[in-house]
Chains A and B, each alone.
Chain A
């Protein structure tokens, strides 16, 4: 769904100039820009977006996962960024294979990611490497399985 509109987005242009490999795809839908980032580049891209004065995405609004089971790559982790100074939003998306749902943690860039990453670990089983305290947060500690995965029944385990 790559469009000319997305290429005109100054943030996307800036990212591409900085490192063309950091952007694997740009999706424009209903006025929202999504930048698909390869897993290996996530930490570098996050640090750049948060600190670069022109961009200044200092506020991480949310982290959430979509499970595309049975398709592969199975998981899509979305980071919703906000720049208060520039009144701008951006979504980063990282695609993960079902057999290895691991990601570098972004808690060093945005401390608020701590609980968001715990929630994604708890409900989807995404493992964040380098997270200071990766434990379940909403479900009981001894819970089995990851409830928001698509192969987990709505009625719960039987």
Chain B
């Protein structure tokens, strides 16, 4: 980008080109934005990405279908379970099988907890970007409680890999639902606390209201999804439009705002936390009434239970074959979309009939949402660029993959 000549009240002047990032605290990772400035007004903004590119899609082609699950954790590291779910559903679609109802409900419960945790990180870090330090400390306190649930269930706080093709990795440990209940019962009060600190805070309103506006038509044309799209008044949520993993059994509202600015996106995310709490509550009510396995039965594809592997010769053979060779879905291509905390997360999986995926493509919502940054930031002050990057809610691991 080179400086251009612009008209100012005092005559013609040159714009200034300013490099922001890739090491900058408000870019949430390694994002570089080249800004062209007229005084303090942004004339042009160009995001430069790729600093975190790790070639995950290429690596997937060299792994078996089950091994890829561990890679999906690392795409969006704030919502690993959503990634696990998207990929597992895609492979299940390819195989033409479904996880048992109970596993689907546990998946819903855990992905909604993931959404809450991810939105909590967003509220906290966005507040810190705009100068409100204390909210960050509170949201991370609550997030830690959710992380402890993930650790209790899967053994890992972040890289869970808990969802497997055909169901779950393990039966959830005893007392799991009690732990969830304790966290969920405390949450609404905590969210009121954040709202007390932010929603009517004049500095907060000044920094977010009317900043980074994107219209509904522009948001659709730019492919925005998730809270970015719903903040502009489009009530599109994959959970409602294309229900997966039994979301049709749960009652919840799609949250929208019409202003399309940073404040609208903040309102949408806070309201979504409250909706997720409702979904988790419904799941907690339903799960204890269900029984049955946590993994579907498909000999040669889904590993047999530990008991069966130890006691039957077929079980032992299948166990050995699945863990050494993997399984081979029929040739074909599927595209499975789920609603991740950031928007429409798509997994395109192509099979050539071998035990390794021929091609895995991740449609990363952050990648697409980030593209509209120039639309949000141009014409605003340089300080608003920080607010605009913040409300896009990007995770650079997902942008660059």
Contacts and interface: CB of A to CB of B under 8 A. Distances in A.
Interface of A: 29-30, 32, 34, 58-62, 64, 66-67, 78, 80, 82, 84, 87, 89, 91, 110-112, 114-116, 123, 136-140, 147-148, 154
B57 A59 contact: no
Interface string B20-53: 0000000000000000000000000000011001
Given A78-B333, A78-B348, A30 B96 contact: yes
Given A30-B94, A62-B363, A154 B61 contact: yes
Contacts, number: 89
A110 B221 contact: yes
A75 B39 CA distance: 47
A10 to B, nearest CB: 18
Interface stretch (B234-242, B285-293, B309-317): B234-242
A29 B329 CA distance: 13
Contact of A29 (B332, B367, B400): B332
Given A114-B371, A137-B49, 8 more contacts: A30-B93, A32-B333, A32-B334, A59-B223, A61-B223, A61-B344, A87-B242, A89-B242
Interface residue tally of chain B, by bracket?
35 or more
B220 A59 contact: yes
Nearest to B364: A62
Contact of A84 (B55, B236, B334, B335): B236
Contacts of B236: 84
Nearest to B61: A154
26 contacts: A29-B333, A29-B334, A30-B94, A30-B96, A58-B221, A59-B220, A64-B359, A64-B363, A66-B333, A66-B350, A66-B358, A78-B333, A78-B335, A80-B335, A87-B241, A89-B337, A110-B223, A114-B371, A115-B367, A115-B368, A136-B50, A138-B49, A139-B50, A148-B58, A154-B58, A154-B62
B222 interface: yes
Interface string B284-324: 00000000000000000000000000000000000000000
Contact of A66 (B53, B62, B344, B359): B359
A62 B220 contact: no
A147 B58 contact: yes
B272 to A, nearest CB: 18
B346 A140 contact: no
B333 A61 contact: no
Contact of A137 (B50, B220, B335): B50
Closest 7 CB pairs of A and B: A112-B223, A64-B361, A62-B363, A138-B50, A138-B53, A29-B332, A87-B241
